[in-house]
Amino acid sequence: MHTWLKNAIPNATGLLITEMVITGVILLVFLILLAFFLGYMERKVAAFMEIRLGPNRVGPKGTLQIVADTLKLLFKEGFTPDAADKFLFNLAPGIIITTALLAIAPVAFARDFQIWDINIGVLYISSVSSMAVIGILMAGWSSSNKYSLIGAMRSGAQIVSYELSIGLSLISIVILSGSLSLNDIVESQANGWWILKGHIPVVIAFVIFIIASTAEINRAPFDLVEADQELTGGFNTEYAGMKFAMFLMAEYINLFVVSAVAATIFLGGWMPFHLGNLTGFNHIMDFIPSSIWFFGKTFFIIFIIMQFRWTFPRLRIDQLLNLEWKYLLPISMVNVLLATLMAIMGWHF
Amino acid sequence: MLFEPDHYNEEGEFVVNMGPQHPSTHGVLRLKVWLDGETIKKVEPHLGYIHRSIEKMTESLSYRQFIYVTSRMDYLSAHINNQVCALVVEKALQVEVPARAQAIRVILAELTRISSHLLWFASIGLDLGGVTPFFYAFREREAINSLMDENCGARLTQNFMVPGGIMKDVLPNFQQRVKEVLKQFKDNYHEYDEILTGNVIFQNRLKGVGILTKEDAIAFGCTGPTARASGLNCDIRKLYPYDGYEKLQFDEITSTGGDCWARYEVRMAEMKQSVKIIEQLIDNIPEGEIVGNTKKVIKLPKGEFYQRVETARGELGVYIVSDGGTTPYRCKYRSPNFANLSAIPHIARGHKIGDLISIMATIDLIIPDIDR
């Protein structure tokens, strides 16, 4: 496609802009569809766990239910409270969804299929995703609602704390693979995914990453920011219509991003499953397209995180912070030390 | 709005109104909460949002009619509310209730208790952020409601009592249906333990939270599972037996913890005791009359009458002053929820917002019963 465009548009800047626009539009459409699908999947997973059927009226097997819901939200009034800080109030959903979209750039969806091959991919993702807290704080503060304010304050404490564990668990893999680039990390798993190589620090890092990223994206059991039974909706209490839908969409995109990152870093991204010297078996595995490998792994992790939500009750705010500062953070620090030791001594393979 | 003096006073306290429309107050209760960050400094309940003046209405209703208004007080224990009104009339008239009617009353009352506790179990899960237990408990509650529907004609507000007995005989398949419901309940009970009781997060949310000492429980007039979790023996079925409870074998569940976890355990164990009571009765329902000998128009003798029963939430008392006419001169209900609510400001102080939700969930308030 690049060469075809190059022939059509001789100007280099024009070419770059055209390519960016095309990529952006494709990505947006893809992510909206993805958010739709995740919304549908969440309802079905919830129904499956709660001995009920879930959506089954609109469209075949209820697949269009989420479209109907979006249409409903589209036609609702985009209400802004009188007492709200109008500029920040309307800016906040944009910021949240932008940070969610930015984080997806360096993720490799399949072999040689990446929007932006940046050599500090891991660093980029962890820094961009931590910016979401600004949007949440902005939304909670500008709503001029007490519940929103409490929710926003909680999110400040929560996301900033769990950011540390996520960073440290990613670093242990960075140390072992020796690169910050997501592509290199995937390549380093060509002869076995990190999680299956049997390194203890990797397993610990994986568990910590899953827990901390559930907290990072404010999903149950760490959804204190919303905590509808306590705060009637938390930071987005005052939002309605499309602005609310943007929060919802950002939540699902964030869910996809953390699962994709976990799949890339711990489960080998698009790398097929290979077993030692069984050449025949490995060839069969290679025939499965790499994008299917990537999405299979991602959705596996999404499925796990969704099960958390429908199984566990919510933590209390002090228990949440205790979990991070007393358990997860010390464990991940020791874990990074272990990983470093392994890397220095050359014990890993 | 945030900086109005009423909402934010000089000491920097943050005043939040929880309710009257709030997801976890289970009705129109309004709690005014003074906060210091996340910590609760003071709670002030405001009542009256669903006051329907049931006690005053009773003064213009006959002794056959006033029973059915009480279904709308504690709507989850509708059957037991009706029972106390029927009992007070029977006590005043000194009518003998037939053994068959007594047995059916007790079976239905215990089914009501199970169904009420199931709804409590469903909503405690919901209040603490776990949605799944709700559906598990409602599966069994649905079975009980269908049974009530078949026999009493209503799922929630049964209105099955008349002074002197019950309104209608139960269906021929009543015994078999009750056994089915009990079997379903017993088969599925372990799922409740698996989804909530054994969960570490859930236990941590409840243990050591909202401790109500025995002395406080007495001082606030708490009754029911709330007080029994503090070690107070207050089961009316044991202390002042009615409708043949004295002939039945069951344990009064008490605990000494006094915290939310103790209240949780007491209620979970009480469901099993109710099953035990029904199992003793279901195969031995005596044959015979279902209504005792009462006149068409009931006139209570002049005087004052008091009767109490154990509802799913505690002691419900009805106090009737009669001037010898066809309607009560004055009627007063002693509702368990009102007394239990008064303990909340005391035990919630110093806890977090999330703890207030656990406390409210385990005290299990029904707001229409508070306001009446």
Band of residue B2 on the pLDDT scale cut at 50, 70, 90? very low
Question: From CA A345, how far away is CA A330, in angstroms rounded?
Answer: 23
Question: From CA A177, how far away is CA B81, in angstroms rounded?
Answer: 70
Q: Nearest-CA neighbor of B115 among B156, B74, B154, B83? A: B156
Q: Is A23 on the interface with B (CB under 8 A)?
A: no
Q: Which one of B2, B23, B128 has the shortest CB-CB distance to A314?
A: B128
E strand or H helix at B319, and its extent? Answer: strand B314-322
Chain B residue with Cα closest to A147: B16
Q: Is A50 on the interface with B (CB under 8 A)?
A: yes
Query: What pLDDT shows up at residue A31?
Result: 84
Q: Is A84 on the interface with B (CB under 8 A)?
A: no
Between B355 and A1, residue with greater pLDDT = B355
Q: Tell me whether residues B24 and A230 touch, CB distance under 8 A.
A: yes
Give the tens place of pLDDT for each residue, A218-266.
887 888 777 777 777 777 888 888 888 888 888 888 888 888 888 888 8
How near does any CA of chain A get to the CA of B360, in Å? Answer: 11
Residue B342 lies in a domain: yes
Q: Is A147 on the interface with B (CB under 8 A)?
A: yes
Chain A residue with Cα closest to B206: A316
Query: What pLDDT shows up at residue A130?
Result: 79
* Percent residues over pLDDT 90 in chain B: 2
Which residue positions in chain A have pLDDT lower than 50? none
Q: Which one of B135, B195, B204 has the shortest CB-CB distance to A319?
A: B204
Task: Mutation target for B interface from A225, A229, A323: give the one with most B CBs within 10 A.
Answer: A229
Q: Tell me whether residues A49 and B205 touch, CB distance under 8 A.
A: no
Q: Tell me whether residues A229 and B129 touch, CB distance under 8 A.
A: yes
How near does any CA of chain A get to the CA of B363, in Å? Answer: 16
Least confident segment among B4-13, B147-156, B287-296? B4-13
Mean pLDDT of B168-182: 87
Question: From CA B52, how far away is CA B57, in angstroms rounded?
Answer: 9
Which residues of chain A have a CB within 8 Å of the CB of B123?
A: none
Question: From CA A144, how far away is CA B117, in angstroms rounded?
Answer: 39
Measured over the CA atoms of residue A57, residue A71, residue A305 and residue A101, the dihedral's sign is positive
Query: What pLDDT shows up at residue A268?
Result: 78
Mapped onto helix, strand or coil, the DSSP state of residue B331 is strand
Q: Tell me whether residues B38 and A227 touch, CB distance under 8 A.
A: no
Chain A, 154 to 183: residues with Cβ < 8 Å from chain B are 154
Residue B1 lies in a domain: no
Question: From CA B335, how far away is CA B184, in angstroms rounded?
Answer: 32
Residue B5 lies in a domain: no
Q: Which one of B1, B125, B135 has the shortest CB-CB distance to A144?
A: B1
In the chain, the amino acid numbered B251 is D
How near does any CA of chain A get to the CA of B53, in Å? Answer: 30
CB neighbourhood size of B146 (10 A): 13
Residue B165 lies in a domain: yes
**pLDDT above 60 (res B7):** no
Query: What pLDDT shows up at residue A45?
Result: 86
Query: The domain that contains B284 carries what CATH number?
Result: 1.10.645.10
Q: Phi/psi zone of residue B34: left (φ > 0), alpha (ψ -120 to 50 degrees), beta?
A: beta
Q: Which one of B38, B128, B139 has the shortest CB-CB distance to A313?
A: B128
Band of residue B289 on the pLDDT scale cut at 50, 70, 90? confident
Eight-state DSSP code of residue B173? T
- pTM, rounded to two decimals: 0.85
Which residues of chain A have a CB within 8 Å of the CB of B2?
A: 83, 144, 146, 149
Q: Which domain holds residue B300?
A: 14-371
Query: What pLDDT shows up at residue B353?
Result: 84
Eight-state DSSP code of residue B10? T
Residue B235 lies in a domain: yes
Query: What pLDDT shows up at residue A230?
Result: 72
Number of domains in chain B: 1
Q: Which one of A51, A150, A231 has the shortest CB-CB distance to B139?
A: A51
Q: Which one of B22, B128, B354 has the shortest CB-CB distance to A317?
A: B354
E strand or H helix at B46, and its extent? Answer: strand B39-46
Residue-wise over A75-88: b if at least 16 C-beta within 10 A, else e?
eeeeebbeebbeeb
Q: Where do we find the tokens 């997860």?
A: A328
Give the tens place of pLDDT for each residue, B254-272.
888 888 899 998 988 998 8
Q: Nearest-CA neighbor of B283 among B363, B178, B141? A: B178
Band of residue B1 on the pLDDT scale cut at 50, 70, 90? very low
Say how many residues make up chain A: 349
Q: What is the per-residue DSSP string for A127-191? A: HHHTTHHHHHHHHHHHTT-HHHHHHHHHHHHHHHHHHHHHHHHHHHHHHHHT-S-HHHHHHTTTT
